[in-house]
């Protein structure tokens, strides 16, 4: 009996140990894979690959047939996620201020607060609060400067434009233009144009008042909706800035989980380079445009120009667009001032030309440097392409986007040249340099030496 009890106890202990091991084994997370796929699994994977290729081709075909519906669906998704997009944009613009506050304030708080996490959160909260204050101050200042001036300018324009046109016609009548056929044509064209404009202001404009008011109502509703989306976006940007390190770690984790290490490192490198190009260009352009707007206001005030605030804001805002921006803002501003005073309009054109020369040759290079790495030709191509596809936003974002694409293409070409043991810099490929049939690079100086030696023989 004692032996049986002893055996039963031992069996019970072994079962309990085995059960404990089993529970410990299942408590641990199992590893995926290990022995490699079986032959059946390999055949199944090949069949699945072929099926996915065919299915993807069919889906692509039907997607082309339903391209309009897909675009409408993407537009609806974009409208729904617009507050999130605004939040990402605000967070990106406010991030430099938050980083600067963190760099200066966090070391000071860590000396006084024992918990480093508490110091980090307090420093981050101060940076976000300061960036939001700066953002609201800029928006309120622009609205206070722009809206009253815009209202008074439009009001004065409506009341004074017919009289200014009549004065222009009287001045042309006093000048003897009938002596030539061209002068008579100019006079007739101006008179007919003036009559048509006055007729439109008195008749057509009044008859279309209902349409204008309905469009104005829709416009006001759209503006209110955009303001609400922007306010929600500011709230979202606060959460993004508080958790930006977490999002960064999660993104890096996802990249390494889904991609090979070399491909993941390349993707992260391109993301870092894109952030450098976009951040340097956008922040630099905003600072440059603010300075140009202030300088324009000071210059127009000294010259006693009309519509000083309105024109300065137009010049500053359109200066964000590279290359074409100064001209886009200068043309309507010059027309406004020319209608008020032709002499001052000429002075304004000369002043804007001098201001843009200062910006293009001195101020812009100092602030932006070589943030994009593009020549003037590629900048023009990027602006035309971006503006043609995406309008005003495309004209601004087209340059840094094209700069990223240019960097990727340049990196691929340089990598291929380095594999062939050829120089990567474009300066080595002048008119006299070449690569022989054996793949050896011959410099222009070497070519000259070879030519002299061959001529000597």
Write out pLDDT tens, residues 269-299: 989 888 888 888 888 888 888 888 888 888 8
d(CA 95, CA 275): 12
Do 362 and 323 fall within a single domain? yes
* Dihedral sign, Cα of residue 305, residue 307, residue 312, residue 315: negative
Do 202 and 262 fall within a single domain? no
Length of the chain: 457
**31 belongs to a structural domain:** no
Q: Please report, in angstroms and rounded to a whole number, the separation of the first and last CA atoms in the chain.
A: 116
**55 belongs to a structural domain:** no
Do 279 and 297 fall within a single domain? yes
- How much is the pLDDT for 111? 82
Do 164 and 110 fall within a single domain? yes
| φ, ψ for residue 112, nearest 5 deg | -100, -25
Residues 291-318 pLDDT 10s: 888 888 888 888 888 888 888 888 888 8
**3 belongs to a structural domain:** no
Instruction: Give the three-state DSSP class for 441.
Output: strand
Q: For residue 434, list its beta bridge partners.
A: 442
**296 belongs to a structural domain:** yes
Angle at 69 between CA 67 and CA 70, to 5 degrees: 60
- Answer yes or no: are the C-beta atoms of 349 and 356 closer than 8 Å: no
Do 201 and 131 fall within a single domain? yes
Longest distance between any two alpha carbons in the chain, whole Å = 142
- How much is the pLDDT for 14? 57
Among residues 185, 220, 242, which one ends one of the domains?
Answer: 242
Question: Cβ neighbours of residue 123 under 8 Å, at least 6 residues apart?
Answer: 101, 102, 105, 106, 109
Do 333 and 352 fall within a single domain? yes
- Answer yes or no: are the C-beta atoms of 394 and 388 closer than 8 Å: yes
Do 227 and 86 fall within a single domain? yes
Do 122 and 181 fall within a single domain? yes
Instruction: Give the three-state DSSP class for 384.
Output: helix
- How much is the pLDDT for 250? 93
d(CA 286, CA 93): 10
**256 belongs to a structural domain:** yes
Residues of the chain with pLDDT under 50: 25-26, 177
Structure tokens at 405: 């694409």
Q: What is the chain's mean pLDDT, rounded?
A: 77
**62 belongs to a structural domain:** no
| φ, ψ for residue 435, nearest 5 deg | -120, 125
Do 105 and 159 fall within a single domain? yes
What is the b/e burial string over 175-199, where b = at least 16 CB atoms within 10 angstroms of the residue's CB?
eebeeeeeeeeebeebeeebeeeee
Instruction: Say which DSSP state 439 is in.
Output: S
Do 237 and 88 fall within a single domain? yes
Q: Give residue for tokens 């062939």.
A: 420
Count of domains observed in the chain: 3
d(CA 421, CA 437): 14
**37 belongs to a structural domain:** no
Q: Taking the CB of residue 373, how many other CB atoms lie within 10 A of it?
A: 12
Structure tokens at 206: 């009044």
Structure tokens at 142: 């622009």
Q: Three-state SS string across 320-334, please?
A: CCCCCHHHHHHHHHH
Do 449 and 348 fall within a single domain? no
Which residues span the domain enclosing 436?
426-456
**215 belongs to a structural domain:** yes
- How much is the pLDDT for 157? 65
Q: Give residue for tokens 């202990």.
A: 13
What is the b/e burial string over 414-428, where b = at least 16 CB atoms within 10 angstroms of the residue's CB?
eeebeeeeeeeeeee
Provide the CB-side half-sphere exposure for 186 (13 A, CA).
14
- Answer yes or no: are the C-beta atoms of 297 and 312 closer than 8 Å: yes
Do 173 and 227 fall within a single domain? yes
Q: How far is CA 230 from CA 147, 209, 224, in A?
A: 19, 31, 10
């Amino acid at each position: 009996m004692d032996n049986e009890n002893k055996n039963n106890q031992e069996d019970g202990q072994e079962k309990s140990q085995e059960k404990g091991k089993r529970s410990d084994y299942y408590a641990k997370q199992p590893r995926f894979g290990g022995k490699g796929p079986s032959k059946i699994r390999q055949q199944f994977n090949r069949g699945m690959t072929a099926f996915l290729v065919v299915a993807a081709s069919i889906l692509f075909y039907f997607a082309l047939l339903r391209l309009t519906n897909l675009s409408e669906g993407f537009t609806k998704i974009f409208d729904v996620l617009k507050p999130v997009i605004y939040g990402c944009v605000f967070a990106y613009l406010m991030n430099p201020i938050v980083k600067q506050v963190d760099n200066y304030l966090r070391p000071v708080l860590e000396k006084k607060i024992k918990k480093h996490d508490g110091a980090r959160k307090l420093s981050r909260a101060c940076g976000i609060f300061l960036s939001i204050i700066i953002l609201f101050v800029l928006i309120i200042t622009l609205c206070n400067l722009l809206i009253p001036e815009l209202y008074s300018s439009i009001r004065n324009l409506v009341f004074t434009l017919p009289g200014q046109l009549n004065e222009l016609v009287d001045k042309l009548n006093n000048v003897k233009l009938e002596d030539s056929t061209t002068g008579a044509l100019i006079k007739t064209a101006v008179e007919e144009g003036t009559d048509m404009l006055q007729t439109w202001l008195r008749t057509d404009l009044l008859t279309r008042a209902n349409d204008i008011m309905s469009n104005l109502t829709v416009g006001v509703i759209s503006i209110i909706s955009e303001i609400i989306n922007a306010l929600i976006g500011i709230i979202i940007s606060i959460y993004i800035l508080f958790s930006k390190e977490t999002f960064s770690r999660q993104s890096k984790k996802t990249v390494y989980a889904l991609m090979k290490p070399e491909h993941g490192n390349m993707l992260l490198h391109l993301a870092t380079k894109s952030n450098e190009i976009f951040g340097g260009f956008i922040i630099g352009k905003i600072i440059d445009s603010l300075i140009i707007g202030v300088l324009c206001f000071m210059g127009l005030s000294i010259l006693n120009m009309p519509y000083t605030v309105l024109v300065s804001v137009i010049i500053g805002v359109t200066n964000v667009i590279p290359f074409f921006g100064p001209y886009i803002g200068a043309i309507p501003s010059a027309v406004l001032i020319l209608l008020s005073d032709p002499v001052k309009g000429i002075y304004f054109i000369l002043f804007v030309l001098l201001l843009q020369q200062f910006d293009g040759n001195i101020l812009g290079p100092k602030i932006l440097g070589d943030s994009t790495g593009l020549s003037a030709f590629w900048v023009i191509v990027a602006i035309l392409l971006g503006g043609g596809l995406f309008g005003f936003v495309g004209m601004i974002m087209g340059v840094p986007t094209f700069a990223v694409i240019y960097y990727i293409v340049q990196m691929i070409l340089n990598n291929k040249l380095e594999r062939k043991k050829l120089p990567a810099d474009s300066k080595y490929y002048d008119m006299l340099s070449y690569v022989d049939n054996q793949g050896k690079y011959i410099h222009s100086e070497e070519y000259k030496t070879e030519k002299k030696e061959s001529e000597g023989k």
